[in-house]
Each structure stands twice: as C-alpha cells, then as structure tokens.
Amino acid sequence: MTTNTVLDIMEDKNQATALSYLTILQADAERGLSLQPIAVGRYHDTFKHVDGKWEFSVRELFITLAGDLSHHAVPNTIDPKIIEKREK
C-alpha cells in the first residue's frame, strides 16, 4: 500500500520527483496468520515527460523497518542487511 505521495513537477525540465511511503501487508492462511504489516519504507521516484506521457526514469526503494519475515514474503526478497539504519 502506497500513501502520502508528495509530487514535485518541474514542467520547464519535463521532469518530476515523488516521495511515497509504503507498507507491505501479507496474510498466510496456511499458517493461520491474518493480514499484517511485514515491512515499511519509502520510494524515491524520478519521472520524465516524453511524447506526452510520464515515465519512470528512476525508482529507489528504501526499506526502513521489517518485521519477522520467516512466515511471509518470498525468501530473500527483503535482505535484513539492507534495511536503512537511522543515525541516533
């Protein structure tokens, strides 16, 4: 689920950027696990305007928090080593 998108359109450059937050939800009926969030993060996107259409030119995904993924997600799709660390 993607939420809180902030879009900045730079018409003079035929470019746009967006920052969006995401929550990944998953259920596992076989294991009796109801729908629950398993990871959160954000997208940093850049778009270009070409022939009257907006296209992605860059999409970066930053996972900021991941829960217990042992019963969720395809193995190795979210590597805990790449989860963004926040400086304190």
pTM as predicted: 0.74
**Position of tokens 């902030």?**
6
Instruction: Write out pLDDT tens, residues 3-20.
Output: 999 999 999 999 999 999
Over residues 24-71, the pLDDT tens digits come to 888 878 878 888 888 899 999 999 999 999 999 999 999 898 887 766
- What pLDDT digit, counting tens, does each position of 42-54 carry? 999 999 999 999 9
What integer best gives the mean pLDDT of the chain? 85
d(CA 80, CA 36): 18
Cβ neighbours around 73 below 10 Å, total: 15
Report the DSSP pairing between strands 53-66 and 15-28. unpaired
For residue 52, give the 3-state DSSP assignment: coil
With CA atoms as reference, report the closest residue to 19 among 1, 6, 10, 28.
6
Domains of the chain: 2-82 (3.10.450.50)
